Amino acid sequence: MADREGRRHLLLHLAAALFAERGYGKVSLEMIAREAHVAVRTIYVKFGGMAGILKAIIEDERDYV
């Protein structure tokens, strides 16, 4: 369970870094998947797409503070 949570956190961290570097509109699911070494399908299943990833990043940051 901790490993799964760690992978989720890493994926969100990498996605947030890409958003910060390039802007949300210029980042694709393929880019995130490549950086995180996961399949695009994994992102769809876990988050439902780009908006779901952004929502998860915001929620994680809110919970962290």
Q: Please give the Cα distance from 34 to 20 (Å, whole number).
A: 17
Please give the pLDDT value at position 21.
97
Domain ranges in the chain? 2-64
**Confidence band for 1, pLDDT divided at 50, 70 and 90:** low
Q: Which CATH number fits domain 2-64: 3.40.1160.10, 1.10.10.60, 1.10.10.1100, 1.10.540.10?
A: 1.10.10.60
What average pLDDT is seen over the chain?
Answer: 92
Q: Look up residue 27 and give its two tokens.
A: 């980042």
Contacts of 16 (CB under 8 A, 6+ apart): 57
pLDDT in tens, 26-48: 999 999 999 999 999 999 999 99
pLDDT band at 64 (very low <50, low <70, confident <90, very high): low
At residue 37, the pLDDT reads 94
- Between CA 50 and CA 32 the distance in angstroms is 10
* Structure tokens given for 50: 């780009």
The reported pTM is 0.88
